[in-house]
Amino acid sequence: MVACNKEDDSTQLPSGDSKEPILELTSDEIMTFTAEGGDAQITYNLTKGDEAFDSGLMSQPSPVSVKTDDEWIVINKDDSYYGVVMFSVAMNDTAVEREGLITVSYYSKSFEVVVKQSAMSETPEPPQPTVQGWAIVGTFTNN
């Protein structure tokens, strides 16, 4: 009896693909956010050797796998599409800066993006005074 090990399908190219894919990050490797958080996107190129994937894929859902282990980073899969991964960073209401990681992969190819977020300021900025209306200051005399 001969046993065979089946390799992990997540790293194997789809059948019929003989060219090695190239997955290239085109946005920043490190993304920085204020304590308020916000939305951002990761952009990438995906090619097979020296040829681009079918241009009709541009309107299709993203073919890459995206993951993070940080609960304050949310991957917006429904808003992501070919070449773009959308994500959100929640507000950091702590006095400690934080750093997380997003991994984008296509079969055996992958890259990582570091997400850094500032801490909430312990002393909020004082509100700026505002001027409303007008007034005349002075002394009136009747001659």
Give pTM, 2 decimals.
Answer: 0.69
Per-residue pLDDT of the chain (143 residues; tens, 9 = 90+): 434 433 344 555 555 555 788 899 999 999 999 999 999 999 999 887 666 555 555 556 678 999 999 999 999 988 888 889 999 999 999 999 999 999 999 989 999 999 999 999 866 667 777 767 666 677 767 76
85 Cβ neighbours under 8 A, 6+ residues apart:
41, 42, 43, 44, 62, 64, 66, 75, 102, 104
